[in-house]
């Protein structure tokens, strides 16, 4: 999870304070407009960082954004519904995001009463090599967070300004 501290940015502090001090209907409009601006940017960023078809299906196509009065939450792979083929993004997102070790597995298989050796089974062939910094979500979030903070600030200021002008 990547967090931004509002203590280091006067603009973000102003947005949070402004949304606390306006009426409920205007706060709802700010949240709605902010989500409309942020969601396409977040989906575009995750799609740009996804290189494989599996990454697109699990992370990029499930990218969502939630906006509250206090924060913006970027999500991916939080859907519980299984994709075609049975993979549930909410359960196996970590393997797609961080990769896996290229281990080969040796074991003894059994079919009925007959046993047979299985050598060098590659169980993680479809995944990228292990990377602690991630491949899609974390790089996309690091690249897009300054833009999203700017959009949130501008959207809140514009919505409040339009409300004061009576539009």
pLDDT in tens, 123-143: 777 888 889 999 999 999 999
In a domain, 112, yes or no: yes
91-108 pLDDT per residue, tens: 889 889 999 887 777 888
In a domain, 90, yes or no: yes
In a domain, 122, yes or no: yes
Q: How many domains does the chain have?
A: 1
- DSSP labels, the chain: -----GGG-HHHHHHHHHHHSS-HHHHHHHHHHHHHHHHHHHHHHHHHH--SHHHIIIIITT-EEEE-SS-EEEE-S---SPPTTS--HHHHHHHHHH-B---EEEEEEEETTEEEEEEEEETTTTSPBP-TT-SSHHHHHHHHHHHHHHHHHHHHHHHHHHHHHT-
Residue 1: what pLDDT?
A: 53
pLDDT band at 81 (very low <50, low <70, confident <90, very high): confident
Top mean pLDDT of 8-12, 13-17, 36-40, 67-71 is at 36-40
In a domain, 2, yes or no: no
Q: Does 125 or 24 have the greater pLDDT score?
A: 24
Give the Cα separation of 101 and 103 in Å (integer). 6
54-64 pLDDT per residue, tens: 999 999 999 99
In a domain, 1, yes or no: no
Domain housing 81? 7-165
In a domain, 138, yes or no: yes
For the chain, the farthest-separated pair of C-alpha atoms sits apart, in whole angstroms, at 81
Residue 19: what pLDDT?
A: 86
In a domain, 51, yes or no: yes
In a domain, 14, yes or no: yes
């Amino acid at each position: 999870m990547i967090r931004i501290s509002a203590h280091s940015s006067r603009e973000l502090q102003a947005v949070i304070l402004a949304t606390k001090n306006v009426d409920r209907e205007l706060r709802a409009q700010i949240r709605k407009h902010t989500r409309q601006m942020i969601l396409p940017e977040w989906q575009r960023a995750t799609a740009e960082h996804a290189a494989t078809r599996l990454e697109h299906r699990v992370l990029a196509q499930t990218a969502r954004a939630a906006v509250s009065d206090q924060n913006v939450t970027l999500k991916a792979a939080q859907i519980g519904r299984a994709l075609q083929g049975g993979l549930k993004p909410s359960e196996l997102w970590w393997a797609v995001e961080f990769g896996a070790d290229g281990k080969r597995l040796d074991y003894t298989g059994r079919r009925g009463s007959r046993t047979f050796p299985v050598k060098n089974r590659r169980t993680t062939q479809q995944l990228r090599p292990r990377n602690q910094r991630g491949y899609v979500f974390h790089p996309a979030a690091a690249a897009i967070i300054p833009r999203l903070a700017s959009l949130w600030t501008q959207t809140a200021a514009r919505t409040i300004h339009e409300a004061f002008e009576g539009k």
